[in-house]
């Protein structure tokens, strides 16, 4: 092999290696920014580590909404089997109410409380987030025609 072919081979190998490193960096960053959906049963059974951000979805448990000082609100999200206490500080969506579907974004703290940074409620009479529907179907609390 002459020196020209060696240079070309070295260039191609360097290009492939740089592409591999770039692809690995992109995949790693995408994995870090992925927010997974979890049900209250997943949280109650300890499948979610403390401090990891995820989406918690289910129904707002009846009788669980309590307003605290300022804009603090405490409520429970249930999938029919388990309920997870949620603390949120901020303005709730106008359609937020007990018995309705909700998806919250946040993380579980050391006491098992879910600290929400965002609360999303359904936006019309027939919509429920697909993740919540699947969770309710798995727990046996979904009635056909609800969506």
3 vs 126: which has the higher pLDDT: 3
pLDDT of residue 15: 94
DSSP H helices, the chain, are 3-32, 40-44, 130-139
Mean pLDDT over 21-33 rounds to 80
State the pLDDT confidence band at 89, using cuts at 50, 70 and 90.
very high
What is the C-alpha separation between 83 and 61, in angstroms, rounded? 7
Give yes or no for residue 1 having a pLDDT over 80: no
């Amino acid at each position: 092999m002459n020196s020209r072919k060696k240079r070309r081979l070295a260039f191609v190998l360097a290009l492939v290696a740089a592409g591999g490193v770039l692809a690995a960096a992109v995949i790693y960053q995408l994995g870090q920014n992925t927010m997974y959906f979890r049900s209250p049963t997943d949280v109650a059974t300890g499948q979610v580590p403390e401090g990891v951000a995820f989406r918690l979805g289910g129904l707002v448990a009846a009788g669980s909404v309590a307003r605290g000082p300022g804009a603090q609100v405490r409520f429970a999200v249930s999938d029919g089997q388990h309920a997870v206490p949620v603390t949120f500080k901020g303005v709730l969506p106008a359609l937020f109410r007990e018995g309705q579907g909700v998806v919250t974004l946040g993380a579980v703290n050391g006491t098992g409380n879910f600290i929400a940074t965002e609360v999303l409620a359904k936006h019309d009479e027939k919509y429920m987030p697909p993740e919540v529907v699947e969770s309710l179907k798995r727990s046996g609390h979904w009635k056909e025609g609800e969506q």
